[in-house]
Structure 1
Amino acid sequence: MKFIDEAKIEVVAGKGGNGAVSFRREKFVPRGGPDGGDGGKGGSVFAVADENVNTLVEYRFVKRYQARNGEKGHGSDRYGKGADDIELHMPVGTLIRDIDTGELLADLTHHGQRVCVARGGKGGLGNIHFKSSVNRAPKQSTPGEEGEARTLQLELKVLADVGLLGMPNAGKSTLIRAVSAARPKVADYPFTTLHPNLGVVRMDENHSFVMADIPGLIEGAAEGAGLGHRFLKHLSRTGLLLHVVDLAPFDENVNPAAEALALIEELRKYDEELYDKPRWLVLNKLDMLPSEEAEARAAEFLAQIGWNHPQPDDSFGFDMQTPRLFKISALTHEGTQDLVYQISTYLTEKKRLAAEAQEAEREAAAVTAEQPKTDTAVFKAE
């Protein structure tokens, strides 16, 4: 199935039913009084995050979703039936914006999250509500409210812990195949990956993380060149980036260091926040070179990017205080076990620190709430 990560739809909530004007008519009950019931509520439209849905392809074909109107009120104090709500199931990670106002209506971050994107109108009031001591036979009622109508922009940003970054044919798809059950297409030519792939890397029963592979980037990606720029947004939610570098390119005229620096510059142009994310360096395809040549190429590459002699304004953007460098072969799985172990340890520690920070914030808020309030009353002098 084609990967669809953007769509535009129209949602229309139902109108509330009108209130009824009716009077009680029974034998031996003269002047029975008003008994018109209220109208039913219109149906609302809800967006629901569903982990079983992977793309927005459904919303490319069906563009309009309209809920039913509520029933009008009836006599004998009978209220109209409310219309059923509509639920639109969307992938986890979907952003929903109102196109007309630009407002972010929802960010579906976890399975089962349910957000109202168009609220149904309230039902109108029947004449039973207008009875008073001076108006024993009211003939007025109110109409039902109109439901909300919106044009929505849906944008999917996949949720992953780790994102793979690299030039076309750097071996990203081979790496995700090596460490997870994902099976993206792999071939000996560039641009074999045409849409993002997700793989779950499972360490044991209690420890796992999600890895995302996007199409390779090329120079000029920030301006729209190539395929990868369309999917860079999927890396914005990741907590860690792995920059995969091909140390044994087919073309001998290709300079891996120059390509790596150009890619990082494209990342900076596209999004500063994405550029500032923690990023580790992964040198791949060492199996295609003799061991001595592989070490020599790795040393030459690191020297050209300034890995051993970082400058204060290092253009490569790595955290040189705690550099993370891995030399692997995704094809033979050499070095991949240590890589995933280090990633798992890093993510576990990151989650622990985040949990401790949240707990500290809760404790500080509780202490503030328990402190006695200062008496600010002003007493007048006698």
Structure 2
Amino acid sequence: MFVDQIKVYARAGKGGDGSMHFHRGKFRPKGGPDGGDGGRGGDIVLLVDSSTNSLRQYFFNAKLIAEDGKKGGGNMCTGISAEEVIYKVPSGTVISKVVEEEDPETGEIVTRYEPFADLTEVGQRFVLCKGGKGGKGNIHFKTSTHQAPREFTPGEDGEESYFHFELRSIADAGFVGFPNAGKSTLLSKLSAAKPKIANYPFTTLQPMVGVIHFGDHRRGTLADIPGLIEGAHQNVGLGHDFLRHIMRCRILLFVVDAAGTEGRDPVQDLETVRKEVSLYSKELSKRPWHILANKIDVEGAEANVERLKERFKRVKIFPVSGETGLGLDKLRDFLDKKIGQTFEVLK
């Protein structure tokens, strides 16, 4: 089960109470105050981990709780601080704080999301909720005129709130297009990813990210975004669930069935998908984009490629075939120049 958004409740640990204690010894039956401070409550920490690509674990456990700090002791002993609790999230997780307010006009409770964190780098740590500070023991309240203080302070409460976790896939380039345009096939031929491929719509129901190697220790990442349909910007066909994953792609590669094997017009399909992306996000519509005219090996595809060139004169078009590999070498060279990055080889 793939989960890319979830509401969770997080509560950091409460600080331990300070101690109200007086020293008692064999030769000091009425010693002074020696109550220690309480320990600090545990933090809740998010860690971006490369081994996870879903928020599935929070579907089964949507409560993130850290332990409280221990109470202070006598002889000025500080209570034990609770350890931080680390929860792993995939790269591309956006955190928002859930705020519920009453609408002054209608009296209804309105929920809004305040941007809180954007976790993109593997190994990145983020303190979601800080643990409370420990309380002060009675030794802190001793003065020259108040030598037997009975005052102490309780530990502070840890931070707590409801949060909305949303996964937005991160890739250098993303395949966008209608279902059955051949996006998954292209991803499987260009990278080591193994997406599910079948001859029916909506085979891909979740984003799939693959690594494309260019040689000489250079590589990039490609994302196969589930197929869009008309009305996706209005959330038709789970449109918003799919469209938000495109937001993290530096380059958009619009894949069309150049052969029109299902009786569809590739020019019209591209215009529709471009429109849906633009209506969803003006910023996204301005991102660099190119056309992959897939299934060029099928009869009638070349004529449609010419129509695409006539309609989109300023856009670079790559006639390719995910089935036979035709044109993929040229596409790979182009992607190397655009998204290829050198990586260090571990020895």
TM-score, with length taken from structure 1: 0.83
* 1:145 corresponds to: 156
Q: How does 1:1-382 map to 2 (within 5 A)?
A: 2-29=1-28, 31-100=30-99, 102-252=113-263, 254-289=264-299, 293-303=300-310, 305=311, 307-308=312-313, 320=314, 323-348=315-340
Measured after TM superposition, the shift of residue 82 of structure 1 is: 0.8
1:32 aligned partner, one-letter code: G
Q: Which has the higher strand share?
A: 2
Q: Deviation of residue 251 (structure 1)?
A: 3.3
Partners of 1:30 and 1:297 lie apart in 2 by 99
Q: What secondary structure, in the 3-state scheme, does the structure 2 residue paired with 1:163 have?
A: strand
1: CA distance, partners of 2:196 / 2:255:
17
Give the Cα–Cα distance (whole angstroms) in 2 for the partners of residues 153 and 193 of structure 1: 25
- Structure 2 unmatched ranges of 5 or more: 100-111, 343-347
- Partner Cα distance (1:250, 1:324) in 2: 23
Which residue type is aligned with residue 197 of structure 2? Answer: V
Secondary structure, aligned partner of 2:338: helix
- 1:341 maps to a residue whose letter is D
Instruction: Tell me how many residue pairs correspond in the alignment.
Output: 330
1:348-380: CA deviations, max 9, x gaps? 59x9xxxxxxxxxxxxxxxxxxxxxxxxxxxxx
> Which amino acid is 1:160 matched to?
A
Give the secondary structure class of the aligned counterpart of 2:297.
helix
| Cα deviation, residue 294, structure 1 | 3.6
- Contact 2:231/2:239 (CA < 8 Å) preserved in 1? no
1:24–1:32 Cα contact (<8 Å) kept = yes
* Identity percentage of aligned residues: 42
Q: Report deviation, 1:102.
A: 2.9
Find the aligned partners of 1:205 and 1:133 in 2 and give their Cα distance: 75
> Is the 2:260–2:301 Cα contact (8 Å) retained in structure 1?
no
CA offsets, 1:139-183, max 9 Å, x none? 111111111111010000111000001111111011001111111
How many Å apart are 1:32 and its aligned residue? Answer: 2.2
> Under a length normalisation based on structure 2, what TM-score does the superposition of the two structures give?
0.91
Uncovered stretches (5+) of structure 1, i.e. residues with no partner: 309-319, 352-382
Equivalent residues of 2:178, 2:228 under 8 A apart: yes
Q: Which structure carries more relative contact order (alpha carbon 8 Å, separation 6+)?
A: 2
